[in-house]
Structures are given as C-alpha cells and as structure tokens.
Structure 1
C-alpha cells in the first residue's frame, strides 16, 4: 500500500484501527508500507484495497515497489 509518510517515521510501528480490526503498519520506504493483521500476512487483495481506501491510500504500482526496494524495503517470512 502506498501512503505519504516521512522517512523519519521508519523506526516507528503504527497501529491503525479500522472498524473492529487492528492493523500494524511498518516498513515504510518511499511512501510504500507494509500492513499486517494478526502479526501475519493475512490480507486478501480485495481486503487490502478496502483497507487502503480507509487509510486514504492505494496499492503500490510496480514502479513504486521497485523504488522502495532500492531504498531498503524488503520483508521475508
């Protein structure tokens, strides 16, 4: 999901409540960030689109993902 956040916020973990759901947002690079639900990658694409709208955001393009990767965005499970 893409969202405008400053690079200074990289060290913070944000917790968002959307309805009754709690989401953790971390790993922010170049406006791209990672969202976890229940400490897992558990969002289906349709759920991610709805969540992005709730966060006034969108799913990232491949260009945005590549830029974030070049700046250090990388996750493994």
Structure 2
C-alpha cells in the first residue's frame, strides 16, 4: 500500500481560530484571533468580514508559495 503524497487537507492549510469572550456567533458577531499553524502569521479581527478577507488573502499566498516552492511573506 502506498500513501498519497498529496493529502486532501495538507497542514499548510491549517489555522487556529480563537473567538473573543465578547463574540456572539449566534448573533453573527465574530471577533477574535486567527493564526496560521505553519507560518505563525496571525491577526486579530473585529468582524466576520475582516476574518474572511484575511483568510482568503493568506490562503491564496500560501497556495501560490507552495506552487513555486517558496515561503509566503510574513503577514501580521
């Protein structure tokens, strides 16, 4: 048996999301911090729009860097 060298969910796409104690997800109010596991890049966000914007930008950079074999710029 040979393991697939290209996992469906590689660790380069792993993030930790920490919600602030004042977040109210049921009301659609998100605030907290997100950190990329591999690079340590992180931001504190005040709303879901900021969270999603950073995540889309960062994930695109990570994907582009993995395509050419380089590390993404540090985004803090």
TM-score bin, normalised by smaller chain: under 0.3
Task: Answer 1 or 2: higher relative contact order, Cα 8 Å, separation at least 6.
Answer: 1
Q: TM-score, normalised by structure 2?
A: 0.26
Q: TM-score, normalised by structure 1?
A: 0.25
State which structure, 1 or 2, has the greater radius of gyration over its C-alpha atoms.
2
Structure with greater strand share of residues? 1
